[in-house]
Structure 1
């Protein structure tokens, strides 16, 4: 009991320091989101000039944060080919202090649908899908870098090719040893309120591991709540970039607020920054930061997926 009390005391101290020392502010969330979903990105279609602009922007953000390079890369680009065409994920890491060979992943996809063939507005800006998730990944990278207390290695990755078959996640996952990945926070469409309103989100595959239970425990005392996926018939757990590692037993889950039975802007040119609730989105990113603390610190290890 004495050891457990000491661990709890240390964790609480870590938690308080995290809140006092580091701030996730709305202004930065707005800046990053607005840039990623801007018209000049032309919908960020895989293989397009627009997605090159998006990649360069994310790389520059990782450089400003001073993230380390992943694996044996000499920059932030993890390059590969899809049917003979060049593509790349963007990856940066924060090496763990005491458990560098245990990985926690924060991910989102930065590609979208590109340009429509006709219509007055031809740009699929993809503000919610998934510039919102990519904004969260960049914001969390700065948060944990500034905090400087991660015992486990944190990998921040922006995937390409999700909209055309999950090619970026497939390539990345094939390079990973699943036994070293402790958890994966995949963030997909958090720019609109969930069906429960503000300060809430759901976790796909909630019932498959105790990942969500750990996150909710760390949020005790706040007004934020994570729910089980309310759209089980849509099989969302297997439809995003978490699926490849989840299939190998990794507690890899997607966090989302998208109302998949009624989201009015989903895969439409109207998915623009103006339709997002950026205040609520900022609160969601804060909740992810706080809820992940005990996994980042090495105190908690989520159970594995039983497939």
Structure 2
């Protein structure tokens, strides 16, 4: 009897260990971790993350440390991809997960977002931003700590799953607010290196839901490729839709996807849930952490992950540009 009880006790311990071990098949991103990322990036400590500032250096270090904790490698010699803006030192932050397939790993999916914002005080006014009597700090929670948090969440997911046959690059851009300069630099650099790009997906302002839509986000340049249709197919839901406002204001050319489209002439588009009809704080000091909907955001991120996972594993490149008429 004593041996039987000891054996049962041992089996119970082993069973508990098995149950507590993370199951890679059930990995999801939580609203808590997304909020923690955004709360730091949009904190007063970073002073609006203006390109070339001490605040954006802290933001870059945070992103680097996240990549390191996930075991996401740097694409270049270091995570920082340096470039100059006149005499100003600026840098993108670039991570990389190599694909698992010996042939498909040469094809690269880029997931991007800009991590800079418009700073504080007179810097806000220079970018057409709005101050209040009580606040002069543009923390940029939705624009674009939210997109940065999405890229980091996807990086964490794939670093754990390790099931992407194609390689995935994670690019966080600086100097977007100065005229898309960080993405322009990286796109030109990768084109010169003959990167075998499959597609580029950019995340921009995903912190609040759209109003009265039957989809969660829109994709800029909707009519240029089958990106939306394929992502909906891969996700198994009506995840991505068309925004009249995005087309009216040609948002396709207003974010970091555009430089990659210009260089590669491939599907390079932005996912967003904010077309300026559903958020009053664009370039406003009230673009704060507590204005965002984290349950919505994590739902969008997790569904998008499903689409990217499928995208990274199809035998052929299924996302293509439509032929121009």
Greater CA deviation, 143-152 or 253-262? 253-262
Any unmatched runs of 5+ in structure 2? Answer: 1-22, 123-130
Check the 8 A contact 1:251/1:304 in 2, yes or no.
yes
Matches of 2:201 and 2:82, distance apart in 1: 22
The answer to whether residue 317 in structure 2 is matched with residue 303 in structure 1 is no
Q: Counterpart of 2:159?
A: 145
Matches of 1:305 and 1:43, distance apart in 2: 39
Return closer, same or farther for 1:305/1:84 CA change in 2, 3 Å cut-off: farther
Q: Counterpart of 2:270?
A: 254
Q: Aligned ranges for residues 27-46 of structure 1 at < 5 Å?
A: 27-46=32-51
Which of residues 79, 104, 120 in structure 2 aligns to 1:115? 120
4+ aligned runs moved over 6 Å, structure 1 = none
The answer to whether residue 95 in structure 2 is matched with residue 92 in structure 1 is yes
Q: State the shift of 1:183 in Å.
A: 1.0
Q: State the shift of 1:290 in Å.
A: 0.8
The answer to whether residue 201 in structure 2 is matched with residue 162 in structure 1 is no
Check the 8 A contact 2:97/2:167 in 1, yes or no.
yes
Return closer, same or farther for 1:191/1:262 CA change in 2, 3 Å cut-off: closer
Check the 8 A contact 1:96/1:151 in 2, yes or no.
yes
Q: Counterpart of 2:27?
A: 22
Q: State the shift of 1:112 in Å.
A: 0.3
Return closer, same or farther for 1:300/1:132 CA change in 2, 3 Å cut-off: farther
Matches of 1:196 and 1:172, distance apart in 2: 37
Greater CA deviation, 295-304 or 142-151? 295-304
The answer to whether residue 81 in structure 2 is matched with residue 67 in structure 1 is no
Matches of 1:161 and 1:78, distance apart in 2: 12
Q: State the shift of 1:19 in Å.
A: 7.8
SS at match of 1:114: coil
Matches of 1:143 and 1:244, distance apart in 2: 26
Matches of 2:315 and 2:41, distance apart in 1: 35
CA RMSD of aligned residues (A): 1.8
Q: State the shift of 1:90 in Å.
A: 0.3
The two structures have a TM-score, normalised by structure 2, of: 0.84
The structure having more radius of gyration, on CA atoms, is 2
Q: Counterpart of 1:128?
A: 142
Q: Deviations over 1:40-93 (max 9, x none)?
A: 0100011111111111101110111111121xx222101111112100000000
Q: Counterpart of 2:84?
A: 81
Which of residues 15, 40, 62 in structure 2 aligns to 1:57? 62
Greater CA deviation, 90-99 or 18-27? 18-27
Which of residues 226, 229, 233 in structure 2 aligns to 1:213? 229
Matches of 2:27 and 2:218, distance apart in 1: 25
Check the 8 A contact 1:294/1:300 in 2, yes or no.
no
The two structures have a TM-score, normalised by structure 1, of: 0.88
